[in-house]
Chains A and B, each alone.
Chain A
């Protein structure tokens, strides 16, 4: 008979293996691959020239920008609501045929929100309400990215980041990485302006297809990404028609949404004025204060906008007026009582300065 002490070492060993395994797994899975050398410029050109891929995969977006913890969505609630995206992790399954048709299914606990695109037609299914909305959107926009919809896929996020690259950005080649089991090269975008809250943006580009697989936004001086969106699994190849174009309940149940309504709903009617340039630019929205915080499309389960704003912000006042200030590790926002909203990837004093700028007056 084994001694007592020996027997207790077995559960101890199992526990150690489980904990050790769970800690070691990410580093094992993310081992750096060996890739042929290239330059940052070549890699950017590759990304720009890459074709839209037919694919199916899973995308995970994790946000940890230091905002106060918001109540997490209960089971059955809309997983694509604003509160779900401002903190925590959102998982979506994506399918694309590389051309007209695409589908993003944002997964929630016992809930799902599907955005299905076929050319100019866009259907949105919300399991929480069991409703379908249909909208005709101008073609040419990135697939499935409706105004006010989160930029969930890495390709969309990378496009945005790369479009912003200008003289204020230093672009370098990062060390290779493994993302979703695929070998990837990385581009590191660093703002030259030290006033920016953003330290760097790292884009992982698939070595084989030049498609961005992952985008990480780091706040200045931080080793952990504040925002990360990337594939956790991806396979290239045309998805089945039933997957990319599911048979949603159409007919009388479909709510038609006009492009104008769509825009109004998302609160993007006022065109922003931009103060400053590059990474430290501040967007000024007029008469938008009342709309800030409203969840995209007024989804069920979204918190009351006013309460949400209160929970995240502190009252401020100054020569520019008074209002409420939201600070996070990657952006600040100033919601003024005169209806102006200023948002930028800069510290609060920069926003206050921008609020007094002539171009930003109400």
Chain B
């Protein structure tokens, strides 16, 4: 098996959830989130991400397998380990007729491990951190989607955490808000908190994540550092030339299978071929190369390749 799980922030072994209808949501999942990582948890809708997160947090009981958070078994040790875990699960949820502050005070009151005296200061600090101080007294029902998302983050950050589990944290946020969340995650990670973030914005993952894991149909189909995972993917080459037919012949001769030709452009996976040799061969054959671009594999391509699914962006 992979690296040592000692000190891992999240570990699952054979974690399985079969719902009552017989549908297998998570199938023998072995997940390892190293401490200090910002772990991008990817997968199309219905791939089992949310069910996995729910099992980690003790909301859903696993059919088989084990899970450990911060080294302790869950759900057996949930009571002692969950106070160190902040979570945003499937969007924010609060009492609509309570203010943002009152909602946070209620969650704070539910935590037996915090001191009642410092509750007001804690909630104020959390609201400040997500930029909601001005709207703290308003009822949750009048909050915009972005404000609701921020309040959810504030709840996850009510106290210092060792692990943050964020399910779609930028959902509904405007570009400015998205940037703020990204900054927030970086700050939190810089303090040494491990972050497990599930998202559909792959650009975001490439910007903030150190590790990724890709789920498909209940199984983990790729996992590792961002570099490790993307290394497995092939580099593509895009050739703009006067004679595309010649270019196709040359590329095919080199064992590079061209994928697309359109309007004077040939697009191909480079595989193991050396880009310098390819360019030299194209020039020698007189293809009339105008532009030769090497494109590192993008996570999105990799994702489509691994899961066989495009992202249907959630509304």
**Which residues of chain A have a CB within 8 Å of any CB of chain B?**
1, 4
Q: Which of B74-120 contact A (CB under 8 A)?
A: 75-76
4 contacts between A and B (CB under 8 A): A1-B61, A1-B75, A1-B76, A4-B61
Question: Which residues from chain A contact B76 at a C-beta distance below 8 Å?
Answer: 1
Question: Which residues from chain B contact A1 at a C-beta distance below 8 Å?
Answer: 61, 75-76
Question: Which residues from chain B contact A4 at a C-beta distance below 8 Å?
Answer: 61
| Closest A residue by C-beta to B61 | A1
Question: Which residues from chain A contact B75 at a C-beta distance below 8 Å?
Answer: 1
A343 to B: closest C-beta gap in Å: 66
CA gap between A4 and B61 in the complex, in Å: 10
A4 to B: closest C-beta gap in Å: 8
B16 to A: closest C-beta gap in Å: 16
Smallest CB-CB A-B distances: 3 pairs: A1-B75, A1-B76, A1-B61
CA gap between A1 and B60 in the complex, in Å: 12
B194 to A: closest C-beta gap in Å: 25
A184 to B: closest C-beta gap in Å: 57
CA gap between A1 and B59 in the complex, in Å: 13
Q: Which of B54-86 contact A (CB under 8 A)?
A: 61, 75-76
Give the size category of B's interface with A: under 10
Question: Which residues from chain A contact B61 at a C-beta distance below 8 Å?
Answer: 1, 4
CA gap between A1 and B73 in the complex, in Å: 11
CA gap between A190 and B61 in the complex, in Å: 68
B305 to A: closest C-beta gap in Å: 39
CA gap between A180 and B75 in the complex, in Å: 53
CA gap between A4 and B76 in the complex, in Å: 14
Q: Which of B228-248 contact A (CB under 8 A)?
A: none
CA gap between A158 and B293 in the complex, in Å: 115
| Closest B residue by C-beta to A3 | B61
CA gap between A96 and B61 in the complex, in Å: 66
CA gap between A1 and B58 in the complex, in Å: 11
CA gap between A307 and B217 in the complex, in Å: 75
| Closest B residue by C-beta to A4 | B61
CA gap between A4 and B75 in the complex, in Å: 14
A6 to B: closest C-beta gap in Å: 13
CA gap between A4 and B63 in the complex, in Å: 11
CA gap between A1 and B76 in the complex, in Å: 6
| Closest A residue by C-beta to B58 | A1
Q: Which of B285-312 contact A (CB under 8 A)?
A: none
Q: Which of B110-137 contact A (CB under 8 A)?
A: none
A333 to B: closest C-beta gap in Å: 63
| Closest A residue by C-beta to B74 | A1
| Closest A residue by C-beta to B76 | A1
CA gap between A4 and B62 in the complex, in Å: 12
B209 to A: closest C-beta gap in Å: 32
B19 to A: closest C-beta gap in Å: 13
| Closest A residue by C-beta to B62 | A1
B77 to A: closest C-beta gap in Å: 11
CA gap between A1 and B66 in the complex, in Å: 12
CA gap between A295 and B75 in the complex, in Å: 69
CA gap between A1 and B61 in the complex, in Å: 9
| Closest B residue by C-beta to A1 | B75
CA gap between A350 and B56 in the complex, in Å: 83
CA gap between A4 and B20 in the complex, in Å: 13
CA gap between A157 and B174 in the complex, in Å: 89
CA gap between A125 and B75 in the complex, in Å: 66
| Closest A residue by C-beta to B78 | A1
CA gap between A318 and B59 in the complex, in Å: 79
CA gap between A211 and B74 in the complex, in Å: 68
B273 to A: closest C-beta gap in Å: 55
B181 to A: closest C-beta gap in Å: 34
CA gap between A149 and B82 in the complex, in Å: 72
A3 to B: closest C-beta gap in Å: 9
